[in-house]
């Protein structure tokens, strides 16, 4: 079991550590450029390539998507009540509870733990949460939505192509399949290295709030996922992916939104850093739990 755990966790720590060390040495790393590259080219190619090879069906994708929505709704209700009771700002704290780092950290874990099928299901979770973050998340932070920005996201168009391929049992032409595989293959390492760089650049502002909400994000997400997996009677890879993705720390994108709309970015940065450190510390337990 130790070797299995190590083979899943070690690549995550090493790649993120490389990014962290790169940034700490003061070497240039264009985070904005890399993020745009991943979201506009790498991730769409990864979606099409993964779904076309995974062999999963639409029913399984719909089931895990519904489970994710239930988890988010419960977290939305409970998190909103807690934040109101504490007299804190919804736009600062609630998005960080709702939207975990299912991209930079979650997708590699799903791939290393469950292979191509796990990656495809992890991408399903990623797409559901990404769509909600680009709609509901922006509304919570900015007070207004951006439907045009959501519709124009390449990952959503890639999803439509992937759904057609899965539904019809079709496959891409050889040259296009090879191209999407190559471009998509760069996505996972770039996400992990960028995560490490981002962690090196963020600082904790308020330890008290950051620690509390970090615990809720990671442990609360884990607990809710276990309960919802039982509710939906998910087993095997489906259950494992749902729990892994739901146990991820606060997404760095929450910090970027808070910075853009001036929603106490220092508070959000603290939650990103502490929740990520907490998630790294708990990875052996979480991965061991889903692989048991």
DSSP-assigned letters across all residues of 222-245: HHHHHHHHHHTT--HHHHHHHHHH
**Are 205 and 266 spatial neighbours (Cβ–Cβ below 8 Å)?**
yes
Report in angstroms the alpha-carbon separations of 72 from 12, 18, 94, 97, 225: 25, 32, 11, 9, 10
CB atoms within 10 A of CB 207: 11
* Comparison of pLDDT for 265 and 216, the residue scoring more: 216
| Residue 85: inside a domain | yes
| Residue 139: inside a domain | yes
Residue 181 domain boundaries: 2-287
Residue 120's region, left for phi above 0, alpha for psi from -120 to 50, else beta, is: alpha
| Residue 219: inside a domain | yes
| Residue 21: inside a domain | yes
Distance between CA atoms of residues 10 and 140, nearest Å: 36
Pick from 52-56, 87-91, 216-220, 254-258: least confident: 52-56
Q: Which of 95, 94, 96, 68 is nearest to 81 (CA)?
A: 94
Q: pLDDT tens digits for 177-191?
A: 899 999 998 999 998
Q: pLDDT tens digits for 20-78?
A: 999 999 999 998 899 889 888 988 999 888 887 776 778 888 999 999 999 999 999 99
CB atoms within 10 A of CB 260: 12
| Residue 135: inside a domain | yes
Predicted pLDDT of residue 150: 64
Distance between CA atoms of residues 248 and 38, nearest Å: 19
**Domain total for the chain?**
1
Q: Which of 292, 236, 180 is nearest to 60 (CA)?
A: 236
Distance between CA atoms of residues 265 and 256, nearest Å: 8
Label residue 289 exposed, middle or buried (CB < 10 Å: 0-12, 13-18, 19+). Answer: middle
| Residue 169: inside a domain | yes
Q: Which of 75, 71, 133 is nearest to 103 (CA)?
A: 133
Q: Which pTM was predicted?
A: 0.89
Q: Does residue 148 register a pLDDT over 70?
A: no
- The enclosing H or E element of 111 equals helix 107-132
| Residue 31: inside a domain | yes
| Residue 292: inside a domain | no
Predicted pLDDT of residue 167: 80
pLDDT (average), residues 256-260: 81
CATH number for the domain spanning 186: value is 1.20.1530.20
- Tell me how many helices (H) and strands (E) the chain has: 16, 0
Report in angstroms the alpha-carbon separations of 136 from 42, 128, 176: 24, 12, 34
Distance between CA atoms of residues 139 and 263, nearest Å: 12
Q: Does residue 236 register a pLDDT over 70?
A: yes
Distance between CA atoms of residues 114 and 137, nearest Å: 29
Considering the chain, what is the average pLDDT of its residues?
Answer: 89
How does DSSP assign 204-216, residue by residue? -S-HHHHHHHHHI
250 secondary structure, DSSP code:
B
């Amino acid at each position: 079991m130790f070797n299995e755990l190590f083979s899943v966790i070690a690549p995550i720590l090493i790649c993120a550590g490389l990014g962290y060390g790169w940034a700490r040495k003061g070497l240039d790393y264009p985070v904005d450029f890399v993020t745009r590259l991943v979201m506009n080219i790498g991730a769409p190619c990864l979606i099409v390539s993964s779904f076309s090879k995974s062999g999963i069906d639409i029913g399984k994708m719909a089931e895990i998507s519904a489970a994710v929505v239930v988890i988010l709704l419960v977290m939305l209700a409970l998190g909103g009540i807690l934040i109101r009771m504490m007299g804190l700002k919804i736009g600062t704290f609630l998005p960080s509870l709702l939207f975990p780092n299912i991209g930079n950290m979650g997708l590699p874990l799903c791939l290393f733990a469950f292979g191509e099928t796990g990656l495809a299901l992890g991408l399903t979770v990623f797409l559901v949460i990404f769509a909600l973050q680009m709609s509901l998340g922006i509304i919570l932070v900015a007070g207004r939505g951006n439907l045009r920005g959501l519709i124009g996201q390449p990952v959503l168009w890639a999803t439509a192509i992937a759904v057609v391929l899965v539904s019809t049992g079709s496959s891409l032409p050889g040259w296009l399949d090879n191209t999407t595989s190559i471009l998509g293959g760069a996505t996972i390492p770039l996400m992990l290295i960028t995560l490490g760089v981002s962690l090196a650049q963020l600082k904790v502002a308020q330890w008290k709030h950051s620690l509390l909400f970090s615990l809720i994000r990671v442990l609360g997400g884990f607990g809710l996922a276990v309960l919802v997996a039982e509710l939906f009677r998910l087993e095997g890879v489906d259950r494992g992916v749902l729990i892994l993705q739901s146990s991820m720390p606060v997404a760095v994108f929450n910090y970027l939104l808070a910075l853009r709309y001036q929603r106490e970015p220092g508070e959000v940065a603290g939650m990103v850093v502490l929740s990520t450190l907490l998630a790294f510390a708990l990875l052996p337990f979480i991965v061991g739990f889903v692989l048991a």
